[in-house]
């Protein structure tokens, strides 16, 4: 009854709530609806009793997801649900803490899973990447790294250009020329813009005293980039040992088709000068 759509990479997920205040709260968090298209997947969301005790909010709704009958539960009992493929609908029961606090960023992960479900087998060519994305002079730049590597810092230092996200972007490999594509996710970052552009390079971030850039290849960047991909696990699926191998395959294809560099940078926008050297 109270719903809105989020579109990413041509796929639309409908968030369908039982009450208006929760819809309005999440609509503000995601900075508004961005699609009127018929949804590819629908998430019907209702809240469990607030008195239910939650000891800890897990970092991952992927690794803490467990089978429960013909549905699933999230470790700690903060979410349970069931996905019905014929209806393309998941019914979710969630604890209020997931949508009333900063844990909303964890809640987003069930929407990532809905996106994976909507993509199906094509997810491998449209993966979600933990990354910052910037468009400069009609070219896309993807910044990746482990936690605290500086993805948000790199985005903040790129205010002269078009920042599409500082957390989740799409690397679109579905066409002859790879593209960087925005997503509506990570609603805490308020200055992002939507857009897409040919993907000029992937930059592995390394904090340093001076700016520098070197091309990298081989297994090391593939493994790092694979670890930053959202797993190919749909809303009704569970993590399997082979899922990381799929991430390695996706990362290998990404590194084959897009130049990869290690970008050393300090906390000023001068790193764009060294990027310009290899972009000319």
Q: What is the pLDDT of residues 128-176, one digit of tens each?
A: 999 999 999 999 999 999 888 899 999 999 999 999 999 999 999 999 9
The CA-based angle 16-17-19, given to 5 degrees, is 150
User: Which pair of tokens denotes residue 150?
Assistant: 């500086």
Distance in angstroms (rounded) separating the CA atoms of residues 9 and 123: 10
User: Which pair of tokens denotes residue 276?
Assistant: 């310009």
Distance in angstroms (rounded) separating the CA atoms of residues 139 and 179: 9
Q: What percentage of the chain has pLDDT greater than the value 70?
A: 99
Query: Is pLDDT at 66 greater than 80 in this prediction?
Result: yes
Longest pairwise C-alpha distance within the chain: 59
Query: Is pLDDT at 206 greater than 80 in this prediction?
Result: yes
Greater confidence (204 vs 75) lies with 204
pLDDT for residue 275: 96
Query: Is pLDDT at 280 greater than 70 in this prediction?
Result: no
Query: Is pLDDT at 52 greater than 80 in this prediction?
Result: no
| Strand pairing category for 139-144 and 11-17 | unpaired
Residues in the chain: 280
Collapsed DSSP state (helix, strand, coil) of residue 100: helix
Q: Which residues contact 264 (CB under 8 A, 6 or more apart)?
A: 206, 207, 208, 210, 211, 212, 213
Side by side, which strands form the sheet with 41-47? 2-8, 11-17, 41-47, 89-94, 79-84, 71-74, 65-68
Q: Which residues contact 162 (CB under 8 A, 6 or more apart)?
A: 134, 135, 136, 193, 195
The CA-based angle 254-256-261, given to 5 degrees, is 80
Give the Å distances, CA to CA, from 37 to 11, 88, 247. 9, 15, 29
8 A C-beta contact, residue 189 and residue 165? yes
Query: Is pLDDT at 51 greater than 80 in this prediction?
Result: no
pLDDT for residue 74: 87
CA dihedral of residues 67, 71, 239, 61 (deg, nearest 10): -100
pLDDT for residue 169: 98
The pTM (predicted TM-score) of the whole model is 0.96
Distance in angstroms (rounded) separating the CA atoms of residues 153 and 87: 42
Greater confidence (101 vs 262) lies with 262
8 A C-beta contact, residue 34 and residue 184? yes
pLDDT one-digit tens code per residue, 3-24:
999 999 999 999 999 999 999 9
Q: Which residues contact 256 (CB under 8 A, 6 or more apart)?
A: none
Query: Is pLDDT at 68 greater than 90 in this prediction?
Result: yes
pLDDT for residue 269: 96
Q: Which residues contact 237 (CB under 8 A, 6 or more apart)?
A: 113, 116, 117
């Amino acid at each position: 009854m109270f719903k809105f759509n989020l579109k990413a990479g041509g796929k639309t997920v409908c968030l369908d709530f039982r009450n208006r205040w929760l819809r309005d709260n999440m609509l503000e968090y995601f900075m508004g609806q961005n699609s009127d298209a018929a949804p590819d997947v629908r998430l019907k969301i209702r809240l469990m009793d607030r008195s239910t005790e939650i000891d800890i909010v897990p970092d991952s709704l992927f690794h803490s997801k467990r089978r429960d009958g013909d549905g699933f539960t999230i470790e700690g009992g903060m979410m349970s649900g069931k996905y019905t493929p014929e209806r393309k609908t998941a019914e979710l029961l969630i604890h209020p803490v997931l949508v009333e606090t900063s844990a909303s960023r964890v809640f987003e992960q069930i929407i990532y899973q809905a996106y994976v479900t909507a993509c199906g087998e094509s997810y491998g060519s449209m993966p979600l990447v933990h990354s910052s994305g910037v468009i400069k002079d009609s070219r896309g730049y993807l910044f990746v790294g482990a936690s605290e590597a500086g993805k948000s810092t790199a985005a903040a230092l790129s205010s002269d250009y078009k920042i599409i996200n500082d957390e989740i972007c799409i690397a679109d490999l579905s066409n002859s020329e790879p593209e960087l594509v925005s997503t509506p996710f990570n609603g805490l970052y308020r200055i992002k813009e939507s857009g897409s552009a040919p993907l000029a390079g992937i930059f592995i971030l390394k904090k340093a005293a001076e700016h520098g850039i070197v091309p990298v290849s081989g297994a090391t960047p593939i493994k790092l980039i694979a670890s930053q991909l959202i797993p190919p696990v749909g809303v009704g699926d569970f993590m399997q040992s082979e899922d990381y191998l799929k991430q390695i395959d996706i990362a290998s294809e990404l590194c084959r088709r897009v130049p990869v560099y290690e970008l050393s940078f300090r906390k000023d926008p001068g790193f764009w000068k060294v990027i310009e050297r290899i972009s000319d």
